[in-house]
Every structure is written in C-alpha cells, then in structure tokens.
Amino acid sequence: MCGICGKLYLDGRQASQSQIDSMTDVMSHRGPDGRGTFVEGGIAFGHRRLSIIDLSPLGAQPMMNEDGSVAVIFNGEIYNYLDLREDLRKAGHLFRSSSDTEVIVHAYEEYGPSFTTRLNGMFAIAVWDRKKKELTITRDRLGIKPLYYHLGDGFISFASEIKSILEDPDVPRSVDMQSLSNFLTLHYVPGPRTMFGNITKLQPGHTMVVKNGSVKIDRFWELKKDESLANLIRGADNASLSAHLYSALRESVKKRMQSDVPVGALLSGGLDSSAILGIMTELSGGPVPSFTVGYSSSGNDSVSEFKWSRKVAKHFQSDYSEAVVTADDFLGFLPRAVWHQDEPIGEPASIPLYFVSKLAKDSGVTVLLTGEGSDEIFAGYNRHWGETLAGYYRLVPGLLRDTLIDRLIQMIPRAALLKKGHRSMSIPDFRDRYMSWHTVFTEDVKRELLKQNSLRDTFTDVYQKLLPGTRGLNNLDKILLFDLNVWLPDDLLMKKDKMGMATSIEARVPFLDYTFVELAFQIPSNLKVKRLETKYILKKALEGLLPKEVIYRKKEGFPTPISHWIRSELKDFTLDLLCSEGALGHGLFDKALVRRIVDAHMSGREDNNRMIFPLINFEVWHRIFISGLPVRALNYS
C-alpha cells in the first residue's frame, strides 16, 4: 500500500517539480520506505512507497515500461498478479522485477485502459501514456483504496488523500453545503461528493481517461444478479452451499496472505474477524499475530470486546496483543485523526483503529487482514433483520397490528433497539423506512441547524441514483446494494485505509474479493436472514471453524464510552469547542440549537452523543482544513 498523486495541465502549462514534491511528501505516512516523482511537460506524478511485494529497488515507482512510453503509479495490491504475469509473459512481455506494479505496466500495454477488468485486488492507479498523451486513473471495484480528484481551470489534480490535492495552491478550499447536510444525516460524506466544494471522489469500479482536454469517466464493474448462478445456488442444499462458501473465503484469505513482510489479523472477537484469524491459522500452520483494541475508563476495560477476543485468540493459540484507549488518548489524538481522515467522520471508531494499527506496527507487523464487508454482503446489521421483520409486520391486517404489537416487539432480539425497530417496521414507505435506520439529524432539524431550505434531502441526493440498479430486487437486496455502494466505501473502508495508513499499516479485506462478493450477492435473502438470524448461511459455513458460542453470540458492533465521556472527561472540551463565545465562528450552524443539543445531553435528559460528536468532528475539521490552523496548534489533551 502506498500513496499516489499527480497533476496534468490541459492548457500547455508546464508541471512543477516543487509542487509535486509537496503533494507527495504530505503523504509520507502512506509510504515511509521510499518516494519517487516523474515530471515531464504538463504531467507530474508522485509516489510514496510502503514496500509489501518485492522489497528491492526494482519495485520503486513511478515505474516505466522498457521504452519509457508508459509510466505507472499504484496504491494497493493485485492478488492475481502472478497469473497475469504469466499470461503477459506468454504474450511477449519482459519483466525486470517480481512486483505487482510491473504487471500493471504491461497489462496497460497489452489491453489499454480496460486492463482494470483483469485485476483482482484493491487499487488506485494512474497511468500516463506518453505516446497518446493520455492519462488514465482508476479505482478498484469495491472502493477499498481511495482516490480523489479536482478539475480546475485548465488542469486536473488527483491523489490518494485530499490533503495532497490541497498542497496545490491552484485548488481553493470551501465547504460543500450539500455534503455537510448529508454528513449530518449519515455521519460520513457519501461519494462522489467530499466535504470540499471542488474535490470529488472517483467512484468505486470507475475509470477516468483524460485526453486532448476532455475528461471521460466510465464504470467498468457493477454488482448485479446473475440468474444462472442464482439458480444453481437455489438448487443447492445448505450443506453444499456452506462448504462452497467456506472454500471461496479460504481462497480469498490465502491470496491476501501473500506478502514479503509480516502479516497479522485485526481481531474483535466477533464472527468475521474470528473467521479470518481462524483461516489464517489453518493456512499458516502456526500461531498468527492478532491485535485487539478497546476503550478503558478509569482503568477498566468493560467497554470493549476483550472477553471475546481473548477467547478466540486462545482458541487459535494466537500471538495476541491488546491496545487500550483512554479518554486522554482519545482527546489527544482527535485533531490528528481528523487530519488523517481528510473529512469529518461522525463516529468515534476511527480513533481506536489508529491505536490498534500502531500496536501492530510497533510489534513488527505491516499487513493486517480484517473482517470488513461481511455484514454488507451477508446481512449482518440491525437494519437487515429489521427490514425482514417489517415484511412480516406489513402482512398483518392494519386493524390487528395494535393487538399484536406487544408480541411482535418481544420477537426483537435486541431490547435496546425496541423503539427503533418498532418505528422502522411501522413505516410503510421503503425509502423512509431505510432512512429511519440511518438518520442522525432529521431533515427538519438540519434545516433549523443550517438555516437553509434549498438543500436536497439525503435520500434524493445519495440513494435516488442507485434505484435503477435495484429493479427486480427485494427490499433486503436493495439495502445490501445501498450499503455496498455507499456506507462501505465512504465510511468503513475510508476509516480503515486512513487510520491504517496513519501508521503505515496495510489493511486487507478478504470478504471483499470481488468474486466472493458476486457469489454472496446471488444467495437468496432467506438464507441471509432466517428466522431473524442474521448472516445465517455464513454462520453455517463457519461451524466447522469457530466455537458455536462465538458464531451465535449477540452482535455488539464496536461499543464506545463516548456518551459518558462527553459528560465527564470531554465535558470542558465539548463546551469550549461548541458552546463558548468564540465557538462556531464559521457561522454555518445555529448556535442556539447547538447549545440546546449539548445542554440536553449534559443534563442527562437526552443522549445526544450521536449529534454532538459529528459537530465536534466537523468543528475540528473546519479549523484545520478551511481556517488553516496547524494540527499542532490544536492541543486538546
């Protein structure tokens, strides 16, 4: 994993060596093992290297082909590079290194911009074709690796991180108000927007080609139902399907263990990360390093999953380590976390991700395999069983619902979600029901907070464009497709990439091998949520690997003490940042409403932590990226 950046002038101006140096070096955390640049005429490439495959100088980037007509910079890993290498060798291509980057160089020579369809991996790639004067940039199918761009006046700039693009003085800084509205609803900024008014995410599975001043973006992959494969799956018994799933997952893990540096596992003690550790242990034939993080308040670890991670680590005889995050740790790292994220994130989980990644790096591990993606393809979230329950609920005649409601509520397996589950399944419209599971600030509250009525509601701005691709799908499959297209790349994978790269750790996600995702998407919904058991068929597939108490335990997500901390260790910080006389100087929020939200939380009348932490995150982000305050000046610990 690395960091890439570049700039192409479209109007004949010459690229600047000093500018590409600045864009490259602001991402030094993404690649401490080396740097390289390429500047010629109007094009400039920059690269920071984190050596994973072929640690020799032959793997350095930018990498050229034999005659120097093709230059490539690349962030990520190509897991089928050995097979591609052999195909290209048979076609007459000569190789000087054992790196996967050189495979990309020759794949572009052989297949042109469509070479991406042959790659299995996570990647953000830029190719400069000197003969055609053509720039190609592309991003992997699921959006595991980030890639941003800015279309300016006579130029385009791009990078793995927004802060790199902002090193270019030609790029202005402004807040995109629609993105801010969407962020307040969802806790993250859905693509292709970013929180910056003039910087855009290249969407997953898309390729941009820039030639002769024109910019063309095409989609090279889209997740769809394959009726022939779906029919085969429907005809299989559960035992056969479970065995096939396990075999496919095992192969995906095997691919992602390819590395010339030490590999470990990120372990929460939940189903997905435990399965990854178990399969890694099978494949390696010995103990695998694993790393867990939790919060501590006053020296105890009650708000964590240590009980389960310890149990799983012991089961697989893992070389196991724990990171414990205190309120002081959290507050001290917050400004730098926001800087690394590039955009505000409304959930606190990114900060412990940094500390567990740092623990792994300090322990000598450079690659971590993680369990992200399983919930999005096998239906593991509350909204997934909630939608299934809503389907049953709507079958009940309206006059009978009130008499049956108490019994239905008792069926909900998570008592803390009783009110939300009931509210959701009572909503007749799919769109409103889906948003009820996600919404933090309602549209009415946002209008009051932002003092604007002209912004689009979040569903219209984010999800409406996805609806044509959901025709013919049942509601659960629609939700899974929404999750895979929006929540997964723009929240979960962004946090995993940015916090891992903050410590020069490469995170790999076996559940998101695109062939495994395509397989899982064909599985009928009634095998994903069965009798309100989420991820039913995956759990069956893992019964031979994991203890049943791990497989069928209650899903807890990643619990945090942030609500308590805001009333205690973080109270003074919160009041100063959001409610003091000099707070919210940007004028984007209604100060009186913010004060009411904070006061209601501090008094204990309401639990508003899911409103307050996004406001904190945005305020710190604005001070760093818009007001231009250096991170070191924001010392809150």
Report yes or no on whether pTM surpasses 0.85. yes
Place 296 in a pLDDT band, splitting at 50, 70 and 90.
confident
| 514/237 Cα distance (integer angstroms) | 24
Nearest to 203 by CA among 477, 485, 458: 485
SS3 of residue 165 by DSSP: helix
Over the stretch 443-455, which tens digit does the pLDDT of each residue have? 999 999 998 888 9
At 59, is the pLDDT very low, low, confident or very high (cuts 50, 70, 90)? Answer: confident
Alpha helix stretches (DSSP H) within 263-349: 271-284, 306-315, 327-341
Look at residue 132 and tell me whether its pLDDT is greater than 70.
Answer: yes
Distance, in Å, from the CA atom of 138 to the CA atom of 219, rounded to the nearest integer, reads 10
Extents of the domains making up the chain: 3-219, 229-377+486-551, 382-473, 562-633
Report which residue type is found at 278: G
Q: Which residues of 166-175 are buried (b: 16+ CB within 10 A; e: fewer)?
A: bbbeebeeeb
424: pLDDT strictly greater than 80: no
Q: pLDDT tens digit string along 484-539?
A: 999 999 999 999 999 999 999 999 999 999 999 999 999 999 999 998 899 999 99
Mean pLDDT for 341-356 is 94
Q: What is the pLDDT of residues 270-281, one digit of tens each?
A: 999 999 999 999
- Confidence tier at 388 by pLDDT (50, 70, 90): confident
Q: If you ran DSSP here, which 8-state letter would residue 603 be given?
A: T
- For the segment 524-542, what is each residue's pLDDT rounded down to a tens digit? 999 999 988 999 999 999 9
The DSSP H or E segment spanning 126 is strand 121-129
Structure tokens at 292: 């867990």
At residue 405, does pLDDT exceed 70? no
What was the pLDDT predicted at 422?
60
With a pLDDT cut of 70, the percent of the chain lying above it is: 92
Unique residue bearing structure tokens 């399944």: 425
Torsion-angle region of 186 (φ positive above 0: left; ψ -120 to 50: alpha; else: beta): alpha
Reply yes or no: is the peptide bond before residue 352 cis, omega within 30 of 0. Answer: no
pLDDT digits 0-9 by tens, 24-37: 999 999 999 899 99
Reported as type and span, the H/E element at residue 107 is helix 100-111
Give the tens place of pLDDT for each residue, 596-615: 999 999 999 999 999 999 99
Q: Which of the residue ranges 61-75, 338-352, 406-420, 525-539 would you say has the lowest mean pLDDT?
A: 406-420
Report the pLDDT averaged over residues 346-366. Answer: 95
Q: How many degrees, rounded to 5, is the angle at CA 623 between CA 622 and CA 627?
A: 90
Specify the amino acid at residue 456. Answer: R
Radius of gyration of the chain (CA): 24
> What 3-state class would DSSP assign to 203?
coil
133-162 pLDDT tens trace: 999 999 999 999 999 999 999 999 999 999
Whole-number mean pLDDT of the chain? 92
How much is the average pLDDT of 371-384?
95
Task: Give pLDDT tens digits for 426-448.
Answer: 777 889 989 988 899 999 999 99
Q: Has residue 471 got a pLDDT over 90?
A: yes
- Assess whether pLDDT exceeds 50 at residue 301: no
pLDDT-derived band at 628 (thresholds 50, 70, 90) equals very high
pLDDT band at 212 (very low <50, low <70, confident <90, very high): very high
Helix extents (H) in 350-428: 350-362, 374-378, 382-395, 398-411, 418-426
**In terms of pLDDT, which residue wins out, 408 or 89?**
89
pLDDT at 558: 64
Q: Which two tokens stand for residue 621?
A: 């982000």
CATH for 229-377+486-551 is 3.40.50.620
Q: For position 387, what pLDDT does the model report? A: 84
Query: What's the whole-number mean pLDDT along residues 227-251?
Result: 95
Return the CATH fold of 3-219. Glutamine Phosphoribosylpyrophosphate, subunit 1, domain 1 (3.60.20)
